[in-house]
Amino acid sequence: MKRVLIENLPLDTPCEIASAFKGARVYDSSCSPEARVYFIDTGEGFYLKTAKKGTLSREAEMSEYFYKKGFSQGVASYVSLERDWLLTRKVAGEDCTHSAYLSNPCRLADLMGEMLRQLHSIDASDCPVQDRVREYIGLAEANYSTGNYDRSAFPDSFGYKNAEEAYKVFNEGKHLLKSDTLIHGDYCLPNIMLKDWSFSGFIDTGNGGIGDRHIDLFWGCWTLWFNLKTNKYRDRFLDAYGRDKVDDDILRIIASAEVFG
Taking the alpha carbons at both ends of the chain, their separation in whole angstroms is: 23
186 is catalytic: yes
Q: Which residues contact 233 (CB under 8 A, 6 or more apart)?
A: 105, 106, 108, 109, 224
* Angstrom distances, CA of residue 172 to CA of 98, 140, 166: 39, 13, 10
Active-site annotation holder among 95, 186, 212, 216: 186
Residues contacting 124, CB < 8 A, separation 6+: 69, 181, 182, 210
∠ CA 120-1-196, rounded to 5°: 60
Q: What angle do CA 157, 246, 59 make, to 5 degrees?
A: 90
Going across the sheet that includes 94-95, the strands are 94-95, 192-195, 198-202
185: left (phi over 0), alpha (psi -120 to 50) or beta: left
Instruction: Please identify every residue annotated as catalytic.
Output: 186
